[in-house]
């Protein structure tokens, strides 16, 4: 036998040792490969607002009881319309803040008069549930200044995002931690 210089070295033991070494080398390779690939930043989940179709899955599929996804307003591209299709239900009874006229199911959009005929719309994130109804309305007939984003103070950064798995437009992607938001308009750091 090749290794008969060691008396207690049997064939079985030799195979065992060899296999052991191979496994350790395998684990080492996995570690090395990972370190080599880790030259980029770690990532977090984010929605590409240009892919999002505001289907409403964000509100229901998140593992959190209240979704980590919230609506944000890109003021710079907002039209400040009086008749805001993100704020008002289609064919509203009146152009006012009455609950029956509001599209948002939780009343999370605040409307404030700026100057005639402009109104400012602000999202109250503590009320927003990420359903995207306003986003859909704004995209359909407005400038698309309302859009959904994963809020990283809430997001658990699951290994596989449950909403991403249910997203019909594959709008979810992993983005670098140091640029965790994909914004629209002039705020976009592009």
153 binds another protein (CB under 8 A): yes
In sequence order, the 6+-apart residues with CB closer than 8 A to the CB of 127 are 106, 107, 108
* Helix or strand (DSSP H, E) at 112: strand 109-115
Binding region for another protein (CB under 8 A) out of 1-9, 103-111, 126-134, 139-147: 139-147
Site for another protein in 80-119 (CB under 8 A): 80-83, 85, 114-118
Query: CB 41 → another protein: shortest distance, Å?
Result: 7
Site for another protein in 157-176 (CB under 8 A): 157-160, 162, 165, 167-171, 174
Q: How far apart are CA 87 and CA 26, in angstroms?
A: 57
Identity of the residue, 10 or 76, whose beta carbon is nearer to another protein in the bound complex: 76
Q: Which of 102, 109, 149, 163 binds another protein (CB under 8 A)?
A: 149
Burial tier of 150 (Cβ tally within 10 Å: 0-12, 13-18, 19+): buried
42 binds another protein (CB under 8 A): yes
Q: Is the dihedral of CA 57, 63, 65, 70 positive or negative?
A: negative
Q: Which of 3, 13, 43, 93 binds another protein (CB under 8 A)?
A: 43
Looking only at the bridges linking them, the beta strands covering 43-47 and 172-176 are antiparallel
């Amino acid at each position: 036998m090749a290794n008969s210089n060691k008396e207690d070295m049997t064939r079985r033991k030799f195979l065992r040792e060899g296999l052991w070494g191979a496994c350790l080398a395998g684990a080492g390779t996995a570690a090395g490969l990972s370190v080599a690939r880790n030259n980029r930043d770690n990532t977090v989940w984010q929605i590409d607002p240009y892919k999002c179709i505001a289907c409403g899955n964000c509100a229901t599929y998140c593992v959190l009881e209240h979704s980590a996804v919230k609506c944000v307003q890109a003021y710079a591209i907002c039209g400040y319309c009086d008749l805001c299709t993100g704020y008002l239900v289609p064919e509203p009874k009146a152009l006012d803040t009455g609950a029956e006229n509001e599209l948002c199911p939780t009343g999370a959009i605040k409307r404030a008069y700026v100057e005639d005929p402009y109104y400012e719309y602000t999202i109250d994130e503590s009320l927003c549930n990420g359903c995207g109804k306003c986003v859909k309305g704004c995209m359909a007939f407005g400038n698309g200044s309302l859009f959904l984003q994963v809020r990283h103070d809430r997001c658990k950064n699951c290994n596989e995002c449950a909403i991403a798995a249910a997203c019909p437009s594959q709008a979810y992607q992993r983005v670098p931690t140091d640029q965790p938001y994909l914004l629209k308009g002039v705020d976009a750091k592009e």
